[in-house]
A and B are shown apart, each in its own frame.
Chain A
Amino acid sequence: MSGSPPPVPPPEEMREIFRAMTLIRRFEERAAEEYMAGRVGGFLHLAIGEEAAIVGTVSALRPDDPLTSTYREHGQALARGTDPRAIMAELLGRATGICGGRGGSMHLMDIERSFYGGYGIVGGSVPLALGLAWAARYSGTDRVSVTMFGEGAAGQGVVSECFNMAGLWDLPIVFLILNNQYSMGTPVERAAAVEDFYPRAAAYDIESWKVDGMDVLAVRAALSEAARLARDERRPACVELLAYRYKGHSMSDPDTVRAAEEKERWKARDPLVTFERVLLGEGIIDADAIAAMQAEVDEVVDDATTFARESPEVPVSELADDVYAQPWNDDPRGSALMRP
């Protein structure tokens, strides 16, 4: 890392960071309940334990910096400010969902907030982020494209291809490798010849380093520096965050592979608890304010859930809407090829 370290955020922002982390945690716990009740379908991947990585990243970016993620992306949308109602409604497959019920948990997008989507195919979103970086430079803006993906995804050939193009063309992109140490049931030591991932980017002349992904301020500092490199010096960067997810890969994974004591060891470093201690220690927030904030967040999540449950289903007559941005006839549903 070069340049001076970014300043510690002012108290107001510290409180906002804490609230965002709490909102993500509570939202995901509620999403899990809705899944268990059978109201959320498909796969549900929770990022509980990864809140510092998510909020630390988003808080270091400008709201107009394009961001892409994987299927584990509720938190990224929430941190970007997407209405929790629209996210929960998407999880419940309702017409009011942020993607109109088309995407579900794995495929949220909020283009108004430059959140360019969660994607289901491992590694597949990384070249899209490269394209967003390309477009930023092409059109002369100083936006920085950021792409979050797992250490498992880092194994895909397309990621190496992107490292090379980013290094070759000096694109304004930050590759964010969220190393939660497992790809589904496979621990990193059984999937990677070298357990550190940031040197892979370094091999393509991309400045890269590793930080503690459980520490929101450390993440924020690293991403600020990475974004500065990309924005001001027009050089790609790569940050590896070492973190942990508390739950199984998805709600359908019984999580029998990971040892109980390993989980406990990481939970002892819970990003919310650690950050709360920092805030209390520095007198930025007191116990009453924390309680009030948590109650407010609970209310937001309750409201989002009620809203989602009460929202209408998507009319089946809209099944074929939006297949094309520019349909080739007036009424694509009129085509004999399309049902119903």
Chain B
Amino acid sequence: MSTEARDITYREAINQALREEMQRDESVFLMGEDIGHFEGAFKVTRGLLEEFGEQRVVDTPITEAGFTGLGIGAAMAGLRPVIEIMTVNFALVAMDQIVSNASKVHYMFGGQVPVPMVIRMPGGAGHQLSAQHSHSLDAVFAQVPGLKVVVPATPEDAKGLLKTAIRDDDPVIVLESEGLYGKRGPVGGEDHLIPFGHAVVRRPGRDCTIIAHSRMVWVALAAAEQLAAQGVEAEVIDPRTFRPLDLDTLAGSVRRTSRAVVVDEGWPECGIAAGVAAHLYEACFDWLDAPIGRVNSADVPMPYAKNLEQAAIPQPDDVVAAVMATLAREVPR
């Protein structure tokens, strides 16, 4: 029986998911830098050390490769580690463990041993942190077979997808958004699980499909508001997970609207928007009335100066312009 939904933040939603899954399953433990006594760089793990003790909420040295690999080994032994990498930027240090071990062990050894682990990491730009701290590496993880990749945009999804991730028998990368931790929304109770591979329509519309995930959902929704004021009804769809990607829902919408814009905070080259657009061309070519638009961060390392940073990150106006471009290309009836 579901407890009643109430409004909490994205941060609290993740905290709840962790707490509930740790209470439910003793094999779940948390590990990462400053997640225990300091309660997390973003305070996501608040109160968990107190409740579960040092055996299950483990502060590590600054050794991303080491403790991520440790998590993989522990998962191979049957535990369910939830590894926090403080931000996605530091995952690059652990990339060999994630890409060469976590994703491949099950396949490479003929399905002998699963790797039931979660790697949580916040990312994204927008706080003037400059180039080394402003990565959206979703595309990098989405490229790797053997990983599952989860990109929650709301508190409800953050909780439901994380709970599913913890119960999943494969390595799941959960990409949280630093810009969303304070965002509030209704969240279900202990049985609130969201299955992977189910996109959700965030706003219905008929004129163009906007596909956006994580923080970009909110940018797309703001753009849709602006478009509505100009008489254009955009449908906003959030895939919620890459690997698996719910292409049916995306393509279904695009076949109805005949136009699509994909919004992604990552870089344009070989990125999420590029990959999703390629899928849609294959699935919807005969239905399209215009080339699929892409909105990405600028093809540069992220600059520090505020005005440059704003210019580099997708803004609602950029999405509006991209949607308008798909409409302008329409052959007049």
Chain A contact residues, CB within 8 Å of chain B? 41-43, 90, 93-94, 99, 101-104, 106-107, 119-124, 152-153, 155-158, 183-186, 190-192, 257, 313-314, 316, 318-320, 323, 335, 337-340
- Residue in A103, A183, A185, A191 whose Cβ sees the most chain B Cβ within 10 Å: A185
Residues of A within 8 A of B303 (CB): 101-102, 314, 319
Interface residues as binary, B259-283 with A (CB distance below 8 Å gives 1, 0 otherwise):
0000000001100000000000000
Residues of B within 8 A of A119 (CB): 132
| A-contacting 9-mer, from B59-67, B112-120, B195-203, B244-252 | B59-67
**C-alpha gap A85/B297 in the complex (Å):** 31
| A-contacting 9-mer, from B10-18, B32-40, B74-82, B227-235 | B32-40
Question: How many whole Å from A317's CB to the nearest CB in chain B?
Answer: 9
Residues of A within 8 A of B130 (CB): 42, 102-104, 106-107, 120
Question: How many whole Å from A45's CB to the nearest CB in chain B?
Answer: 12
CB < 8 Å neighbour of A186 from B34, B90, B300: B34
**C-alpha gap A306/B305 in the complex (Å):** 18
CB < 8 Å neighbour of B127 from A42, A120, A156: A42
A94 in contact with B305 given A43-B129, A107-B130, A157-B63 (CB within 8 Å): yes
A191, B131: Cβ atoms closer than 8 Å? no
The contact sample of 10 A-B pairs, CB cut-off 8 A, is A41-B128, A93-B304, A102-B130, A106-B129, A185-B37, A314-B307, A316-B308, A319-B312, A339-B312, A340-B298
Residues of A within 8 A of B38 (CB): 184-186, 257
Given contacts A120-B130, A123-B93, A186-B34, 20 further A-B contacts (CB under 8 A): A42-B127, A42-B128, A93-B306, A93-B307, A94-B305, A101-B303, A102-B130, A104-B304, A106-B132, A120-B89, A120-B129, A122-B62, A156-B63, A184-B38, A186-B37, A257-B37, A318-B308, A319-B311, A320-B300, A323-B299
Question: How many whole Å from B45's CB to the nearest CB in chain A?
Answer: 12
Chain B contact residues, CB within 8 Å of chain A? 33-34, 37-38, 41, 59-63, 65-66, 89-90, 92-93, 127-133, 268-269, 296, 298-301, 303-308, 311-312, 318
**C-alpha gap A321/B300 in the complex (Å):** 9
**C-alpha gap A56/B258 in the complex (Å):** 67
CB < 8 Å neighbour of B61 from A102, A155, A313, A337: A155
Question: How many whole Å from A67's CB to the nearest CB in chain B?
Answer: 19
Question: How many whole Å from B89's CB to the nearest CB in chain A?
Answer: 7
**C-alpha gap A103/B132 in the complex (Å):** 9
Residues of B within 8 A of A319 (CB): 298, 300, 303, 308, 311-312
Residues of B within 8 A of A120 (CB): 89, 129-130, 132-133
A121, B132: Cβ atoms closer than 8 Å? yes
Residues of B within 8 A of A103 (CB): 130-131, 304
A337, B37: Cβ atoms closer than 8 Å? no
Residues of A within 8 A of B37 (CB): 185-186, 190, 257
A183 in contact with B298 given A42-B128, A107-B130, A257-B37 (CB within 8 Å): no
Interface of A, helix, strand, loop or mixed by DSSP: loop
A155 in contact with B62 given A107-B130, A185-B38 (CB within 8 Å): yes
- Residue in B127, B129, B296, B304 whose Cβ sees the most chain A Cβ within 10 Å: B304
B306, A183: Cβ atoms closer than 8 Å? no
Name the CB-closest residue of B to A191: B61
Question: How many whole Å from B135's CB to the nearest CB in chain A?
Answer: 11
A121, B304: Cβ atoms closer than 8 Å? no
B61, A152: Cβ atoms closer than 8 Å? yes
**C-alpha gap A27/B268 in the complex (Å):** 40
- Residue in A94, A183, A191, A323 whose Cβ sees the most chain B Cβ within 10 Å: A191
A184, B34: Cβ atoms closer than 8 Å? yes
**C-alpha gap A192/B268 in the complex (Å):** 41
CB < 8 Å neighbour of B307 from A158, A186, A316: A316
Question: How many whole Å from B331's CB to the nearest CB in chain A?
Answer: 23
Residues of B within 8 A of A101 (CB): 303-305, 308
Residues of B within 8 A of A107 (CB): 130-132, 304
A152, B62: Cβ atoms closer than 8 Å? yes
**C-alpha gap A337/B271 in the complex (Å):** 12
- Residue in B37, B62, B269, B296 whose Cβ sees the most chain A Cβ within 10 Å: B62
B41, A184: Cβ atoms closer than 8 Å? yes
A41 in contact with B298 given A120-B133, A121-B90, A121-B132 (CB within 8 Å): no
Residues of A within 8 A of B300 (CB): 319-320, 323, 338
A323 in contact with B301 given A184-B33, A185-B38 (CB within 8 Å): yes
Residues of B within 8 A of A338 (CB): 298-300
B308, A185: Cβ atoms closer than 8 Å? no
B132, A314: Cβ atoms closer than 8 Å? no
Residues of A within 8 A of B306 (CB): 41, 93
Give 7 closest A-B pairs by Cβ, nearest first. A41-B128, A185-B38, A104-B304, A93-B305, A101-B305, A120-B132, A155-B61
Name the CB-closest residue of B to A318: B308
A156, B128: Cβ atoms closer than 8 Å? no
